[in-house]
Amino acid sequence: MSAIQAAWPSGTECIAKYNFHGTAEQDLPFCKGDVLTIVAVTKITREQAERLLYPPETGLFLVRESTNYPGDYTLCVSCDGKVEHYRIMYHASKLSIDEEVYFENLMQLVEHYTSDADGLCTRLIKPKVMEGTVAAQDEFYRSGWALNMKELKLLQTIGKGEFGDVMLGDYRGNKVAVKCIKNDATAQAFLAEASVMTQLRHSNLVQLLGVIVEEKGGLYIVTEYMAKGSLVDYLRSRGRSVLGGDCLLKFSLDVCEAMEYLEGNNFVHRDLAARNVLVSEDNVAKVSDFGLTKEASSTQDTGKLPVKWTAPEALREKKFSTKSDVWSFGILLWEIYSFGRVPYPRIPLKDVVPRVEKGYKMDAPDGCPPAVYEVMKNCWHLDAATRPSFLQLREQLERIKTHELHL
């Protein structure tokens, strides 16, 4: 997923592509591979941004979500005692301030204006670091989720993302996965993820084991290790010659049971897709990536959402609910039974939403049982209220499983 399409609704981090040592004492130096956060965790208004950038310090900046243009950002820069606000437009998967220079992500944009003002009131010198990491560290200690860094061995990198590396680790003799976030501002965004994970426990959710917050601001989120990687990669690498219908149905039920649990606890995942489901050594599928998970009935900007997986009402009206997760589950079922194909094949991305809103539904994947395809189509009702609950979906899938066992 790209840095914008699946970024945190508030809190975007990217990896520096080159070293920057600064030309003045107050410059923000960074090295290739460093992770930099440039968006606050909470929604910030124009007035709040101006207060945060006070007292004035030329070159101090932050990036916030635009209040007037949902899906876009605003770059707020302190310069000569005033705060200037620049709209960052999100267009065709790229970002621009002046519609002359375009960037793949916010990190590239910040890197550019850090080295050259290029039309801004000043070049960017220092990001505003938000408060809150220290308080969160105390909270994890109080609630018993803090782990001891001395007992964690980091072994090798098993994944890279916009937010930092995922590493294979050893904690007290057990294999673990460790999400490594290396600076204070970035860590704050991930504290939200860790906070959500402390509230959730189910055999088909990737289990949080604990959190390490370093005094200098680094954050390590330690979870159970899922040896066989993401479900989409698992499906693509094995295919129908290896995976039978019983295996596909089991994965479908695994995910459905996790989502039924979230449904029962009033949580909405918002980014359910085969890429965000992991497979354990013993072939259990578990839902992961709680980055967007929030309590039900909240909204978020839609400019960064994975269009092919997101329900029409969530894209159109920012309405996220268990029922929008149900839509995504239908897409995930299609991914499972197509062995990891990208949804809406041969349809240009810009045409997907208009066609879906007119009632278009994907055809069944080759070899997909008609009963499973009916489940998919039930998930894709345009009227969210007519979609089944996850409890009903689980019951339908279990009936299909029972029927197949008797064939």
- pLDDT at residue number 55: 81
Q: What is the mean pLDDT of residues 384-390?
A: 97
From 381, 226, 303, select the one nearest 12 (Cα to Cα): 303
- pLDDT at residue number 318: 80
Q: What is the mean pLDDT of residues 67-90?
A: 84
- pLDDT at residue number 139: 67
Q: What is the mean pLDDT of residues 166-192?
A: 78
Give 295 or 360, the one with higher predicted confidence.
360
Q: Phi-psi bin for 235: left (phi > 0), alpha (psi -120 to 50), beta?
A: alpha
CB neighbour burial string for 164-202, b if at least 16 within 10 angstroms, e if fewer = bbbbbbebeeeebbbbbbbbbbbbbbbbbbbbbbeebeb
Q: Which residues are catalytic?
A: 271
> What value does the mean pLDDT of the chain take?
81
**Per-residue pLDDT tens digits for 19-29:** 655 555 555 56
Confidence of residue 135 (pLDDT cuts 50, 70, 90): low
Q: Which of 57-71, 247-261, 264-278, 359-373 has the lowest mean pLDDT?
A: 57-71
Binding-site members for ATP are 179
**Per-residue pLDDT tens digits for 307-356:** 999 999 999 888 889 999 999 999 999 999 999 999 999 999 999 999 99
> Helices 390-405 and 370-379: crossing angle, nearest 10°?
180
**Per-residue pLDDT tens digits for 266-284:** 888 888 999 999 999 999 9
Give 245 or 161, the one with higher predicted confidence.
245
pTM for this entry: 0.67
The SS3 of residue 104 is coil
**Per-residue pLDDT tens digits for 10-47:** 334 445 555 655 555 555 565 655 555 443 334 577 88
CB neighbours of residue 357 within 10 Å: 13
